[in-house]
């Protein structure tokens, strides 16, 4: 199976679009950086697949962030997908989580937010809904039904090896109110509902789509390759330390001997000793006093 690929498709005989995604290497990059409990790992994987599917529905230069917050054992799950076809993900939790814990068990009555940040835009777009349904797919379907008024069906699955997802959505059109359009949606969504987790996780896109829709007219577009990537860097950490101020930074050095910062996404650790911190603030002062510096 082709690793880390998103396949878009449409139905020539119905006003419906679809997407299929499979993540292997990028998912392993996430798992290799932190030892997540099994139940949490599976939901985080589903979120990663969902973010890739949702990002493919919007044409932006920027990023889409899918985020779940709660006061339950899992306080945060977050996935970022960019217009450069990169993904990264993280989760924060406290205490033991049973292997068979459900989304409700882990999150309780949390909220799901979809944030779209367009480069150059003054403000991001954000849609927020409460967690509804027994799983992430149902919550997202409710979001599209209530917020976007678009009939949508989503199937997500994840295990320790890979993540997969299937997305169907009625195209926005006045014609979708016609009886035959509703019949098309019912027929195609019912065909897709026969899919199993094993098929979703193990079959190539062409094989899966043929198995589900062999009597329909399905047109595939050029697939998109996806990959894991984190935007953290030592320079960004330096900027964060600079925002603390030299006095607070020096206090940490005096107490701890060094400043250590770990990226929550990729678990990369950045360490700064007394010399590093002194050099950082000397450079900051020099830049601020340089009349040729642009601000």
**Given pLDDT bands bounded at 50, 70 and 90, which one contains residue 288?**
very low
Q: How far apart are the first and last CA of the chain?
A: 50
The mean per-residue pLDDT over the stretch 106-118 comes to 89
Are 194 and 232 in contact by the 8 Å Cβ rule? The answer is no
CA 131 centroid distance within chain = 16
Averaged pLDDT score across all residues of the chain:
88
Q: Count other C-beta atoms under 10 Å from residue 295's C-beta.
A: 4
**Given pLDDT bands bounded at 50, 70 and 90, which one contains residue 1?**
low
Are 136 and 103 in contact by the 8 Å Cβ rule? The answer is yes
**Given pLDDT bands bounded at 50, 70 and 90, which one contains residue 292?**
very low
pTM across the whole model:
0.83
Lowest pLDDT segment from 145-159, 235-249, 273-287: 273-287
Question: Residue 153: in which H helix or E strand, if any?
Answer: strand 152-158
pLDDT for 153 equals: 97
- Residues 139 and 153: their CA atoms lie apart, in Å, by 11
């Amino acid at each position: 199976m082709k690793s880390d690929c998103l396949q878009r498709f449409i139905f020539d005989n119905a006003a419906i679009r679809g997407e299929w995604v499979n993540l292997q290497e990028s998912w392993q990059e996430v798992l290799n950086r932190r030892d997540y409990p099994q139940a949490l790992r599976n939901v985080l994987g589903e979120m990663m697949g969902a973010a890739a599917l949702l990002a493919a529905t919007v044409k932006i230069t920027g990023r889409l962030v899918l985020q779940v917050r709660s006061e339950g054992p899992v306080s945060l799950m977050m996935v970022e997908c960019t217009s450069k076809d990169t993904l990264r993900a993280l989760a924060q939790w406290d205490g033991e989580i049973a292997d068979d814990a459900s989304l409700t068990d882990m999150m309780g009555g949390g909220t799901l937010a979809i944030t779209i940040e367009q480069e150059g835009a003054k403000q991001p777009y954000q849609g927020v809904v409460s967690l509804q349904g027994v799983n992430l797919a149902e919550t997202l379907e409710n979001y599209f039904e209530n917020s976007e008024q678009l009939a949508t069906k989503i199937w997500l699955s994840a295990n320790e090896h890979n993540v997969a997802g299937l997305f169907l959505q009625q195209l926005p059109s006045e014609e979708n109110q016609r009886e035959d359009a509703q019949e098309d949606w019912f027929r195609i969504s019912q065909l897709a509902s026969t899919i199993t987790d094993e098929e979703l996780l193990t079959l190539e896109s062409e094989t899966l789509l043929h198995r589900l829709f062999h009597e329909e007219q399905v047109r595939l577009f050029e697939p998109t390759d996806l990959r894991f990537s984190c935007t953290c860097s030592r320079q960004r950490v330096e900027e964060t330390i600079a925002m603390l101020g030299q006095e607070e930074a020096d206090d940490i050095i005096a107490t701890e001997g060094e400043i250590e910062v770990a990226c929550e996404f990729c678990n990369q650790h950045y360490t700064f000793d007394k010399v590093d911190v002194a050099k950082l603030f000397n450079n900051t002062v020099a830049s601020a006093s340089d009349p040729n510096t642009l601000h």
